[in-house]
A and B are shown apart, each in its own frame.
Chain A
Amino acid sequence: GENVEQHPSTLSVQEGDSAVIKCTYSDSASNYFPWYKQELGKRPQLIIDIRSNVGEKKDQRIAVTLNKTAKHFSLHITETQPEDSAVYFCAASKGYSSASKIIFGSGTRLSIRP
């Protein structure tokens, strides 16, 4: 079955610097790669996603890149702010499939230092 590995598990960056979180997946048939943000005590919420026919997607200060050949995808946060402090999860799925489900990485705890 699908396996998603995420690293680092913790990341601390200075406010204003960039943060990068990386994930690898095992199933080459996966075609949908979302990123979720979970603030302390809250539910996970989707912040950005990418599908396999696209190599990069940006939304203001966040961007995701996908390398299907290497089965890698990454989250980039630029100009980090205190409100970016949270746990971030990557995930992979096969999208439209009767047996499909999303598999999550183990999470990265991002801390922004003032």
Chain B
Amino acid sequence: NAGVTQTPKFRVLKTGQSMTLLCAQDMNHEYMYWYRQDPGMGLRLIHYSVGEGTTAKGEVPDGYNVSRLKKQNFLLGLESAAPSQTSVYFCASSSHSYEQYFGPGTRLTVT
């Protein structure tokens, strides 16, 4: 099993550009999450999903959209990137709300 994978690993965007981050899991988990990690801020929840076709807002959802069309995939979109969105993005999945398995992260820089 690959566990949780993220694509891409690194990306540099210019202000105003758009992009989609892909998260995939092969553990048949119901719950999936997107976090951002900034120095000294810990892990902040952007959006999450409790099942295929469902999404919900987390702590810091502004500027991001998500979709969960298939159970194994959770997409995070930035429609118009801003420098404040420079961060490391982690995807995670879990069976209900217990142990979360994290992906390797995506380092995004917005110039």
A residues in contact (CB < 8 Å) with B: 6, 9, 32, 34, 36, 43-46, 49, 89, 93-107
Report chain B residues within 8 Å CB of A46.
Answer: 99-100
B residues in contact (CB < 8 Å) with A: 33, 35, 40-45, 48, 50, 56, 58-59, 90, 96-100, 102-105
A-B contact pairs, 18 of them (CB 8 A): A9-B40, A32-B98, A34-B98, A34-B100, A43-B102, A43-B103, A44-B43, A45-B102, A49-B98, A89-B42, A89-B43, A94-B97, A101-B33, A101-B58, A101-B97, A102-B33, A104-B35, A106-B42
CA distance A44 to B98 in the complex (A): 14
CA distance A98 to B31 in the complex (A): 10
3 smallest CB-CB distances across A and B, nearest first, come from A106-B42, A43-B102, A100-B97
Q: How far is the CB of A26 from chain B (nearest CB, A)?
A: 14
Tally the A-B contacts, defined by beta carbons under 8 Å: 60
Report chain A residues within 8 Å CB of B40.
Answer: 9, 106-107
- Nearest residue in B to A1 (C-beta to C-beta)? B59
CA distance A16 to B67 in the complex (A): 47
CA distance A100 to B105 in the complex (A): 23
Of the candidates B41, B45, B50, B102, the one whose C-beta lies within 8 Å of that of A44 is B102
